[in-house]
Structure 1
Amino acid sequence: MALTAHVPTASASRYLQQLCKHWGHKFETDFDARQGSIAFPMGPIRMAAGADALTVTIEPGEGTDVERFKQVVADHLDRFAFREAPLTFDWR
């Protein structure tokens, strides 16, 4: 089951690229200024940057601690967004 959050920020593209670069040394990533994906061990992460929000979709694998997965993603994005953290994640 995929979960998606729309995270309000004017810096969506920057945060998307920072997160992909950060995890790129450990996991397979694919990204440009508008979209990105990370082959995370708990399940894939997909992101899309809009003008006023970053859309983050996670697909937790079987047996994954979903709350932990959401928190790992949120914590890392908050680190990059320290000027406006904490970001708002409305997971659905």
Structure 2
Amino acid sequence: MPRSEARVITDRPHRYAKQLAAHLGRKVEGSWDEQTGQASLTFSAGTATVNAEPGLLLLAVEGEADDLDRLEDVVGRHLVRFGAKDELVAEWHRDNGSPGTVQRNDAEEAASAG
């Protein structure tokens, strides 16, 4: 199954992973393991994992090729919104070598466009 990954630099990886799992877990099946620092989410279109590592979050989504954009967007957009103060950016890379989507704070996008 096609896969896409993003490495998000942050000083608070556990906080954001737990928050993302709790928030998205209200709408889809999700779990958070405090010991391992790993969250897993099951969407109708695929799955996502979030691993809290020292200084970064490792995000991964798997689904049909047509669903990767949507899975990347849902996981990345929510994370970036939670981490707006820290200016988190999720830049996805697909296992076939092609670039995925990018989620960043809208205020940052507007400032760089002007």
TM-score by length of 2: 0.71
Q: Unpaired segments of 5 or more residues in structure 2?
A: 95-114
Structure 2 partner of 1:10:
11
Structure 1 partner of 2:81:
79
Task: Measure the CA separation in 1 of the matches of 2:71 and 2:30.
Answer: 17
Moved over 6 A (4+): none
Task: Measure the CA separation in 2 of the matches of 1:23 and 1:4.
Answer: 18
- For residues 34-80 of structure 1, the C-alpha deviation after alignment (integer angstroms, 9 at most, x for no partner) is 1010012221001110111100010023642x223212211100111
Structure number with higher relative contact order (C-alpha < 8 Å, ≥ 6 residues apart):
1
Does the 8 A contact of 1:6 with 1:91 survive in 2?
A: no
Alignment of 1:4-83 (within 5 A): 4-33=5-34, 34-61=37-64, 63-64=66-67, 66-83=68-85
Supply the AA of the counterpart residue of 1:76: H
Structure with the largest fraction of helix: 2
CA RMSD of aligned residues (A): 1.7
TM-score by length of 1: 0.85
Does the 8 A contact of 1:7 with 1:90 survive in 2?
A: no
How many equivalent pairs are there?
Answer: 91
Identity across aligned pairs (percent)?
30
Q: Unpaired segments of 5 or more residues in structure 1?
A: none
Structure with the largest fraction of strand: 2
